[in-house]
């Protein structure tokens, strides 16, 4: 798979038709050098911790996934059937590379891997996420996070 044109139908039409609002500007925040970055991962795979209430379709909330949670207790509640789950089932790092990020911290390439990462439900109107997204940004900044890797599925 390379570009949208390579996605089989009918998914291609579904993906092409997803609501993609445009914004009048492209805000661009400053970031410190690599070795000073405090990095969090935010996934839109609808990830939850085992036992939590799953994220549902059009759910605008997010879930926190502390680093203390075992890989085996991270589940996917995403509503879409149109992406491969077998990669995630075999290896969490395929969609949520927190282990790889921790390695970058231990080798000194980045300053710190965040203690907590987060997940929203994808396939949601982006504008509906604004309130919770801004709330989460404030929480992460308060924890010292200065860089976010956004990971879709």
Per CB under 8 A, contacts with another protein among 94-133 are: 94-95, 97, 99-101, 103-104, 109-110, 120, 122, 126-127, 129-130, 133
**Residue 56 structure tokens:** 């549902």
Which residues ranging from 19 to 58 are in contact with another protein (CB under 8 A)? Answer: 20-23, 26-31, 33-34, 37, 39, 42, 44, 48, 50, 54, 56-57
Tokens 């996917």 correspond to what residue?
A: 76
61 near another protein, judged by CB under 8 A: no
Q: Check residue 83 and report its DSSP letter.
A: S
CB of 116 to another protein, least distance (A): 14
- Classified as helix, coil or strand, 117 is strand
The Cα 65–Cα 99 span in angstroms is: 13
User: Could you say which of 36, 67, 141, 144 contacts another protein (CB under 8 A)?
Assistant: 141
17 near another protein, judged by CB under 8 A: no
143 near another protein, judged by CB under 8 A: no
β-strand pairing of 147-151 with 62-66: unpaired
Which residues are CB-neighbours of 102 under 8 A, at least 6 positions away?
A: 67, 113
CB of 74 to another protein, least distance (A): 8
């Amino acid at each position: 798979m390379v570009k949208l044109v390579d996605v089989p139908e009918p998914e291609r039409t579904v993906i092409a038709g997803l609501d993609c609002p445009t914004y009048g500007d492209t805000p661009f925040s400053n970031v410190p050098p690599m070795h000073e970055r405090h990095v969090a991962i935010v996934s839109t795979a609808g990830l939850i911790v085992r036992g939590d209430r799953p994220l549902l379709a059009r759910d605008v909330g997010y879930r926190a996934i502390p680093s203390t949670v075992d890989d085996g207790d991270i589940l996917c509640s995403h509503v879409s059937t149109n992406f491969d789950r077998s990669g995630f089932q075999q290896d969490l790092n395929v969609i949520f590379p927190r282990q790889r990020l921790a390695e970058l911290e231990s080798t000194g390439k980045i300053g710190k891997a965040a203690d907590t990462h987060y997940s929203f439900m994808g396939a949601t109107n982006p504008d509906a996420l604004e309130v919770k997204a801004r709330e989460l940004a404030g929480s992460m900044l308060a924890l010292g996070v200065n860089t976010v890797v956004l990971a879709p599925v």
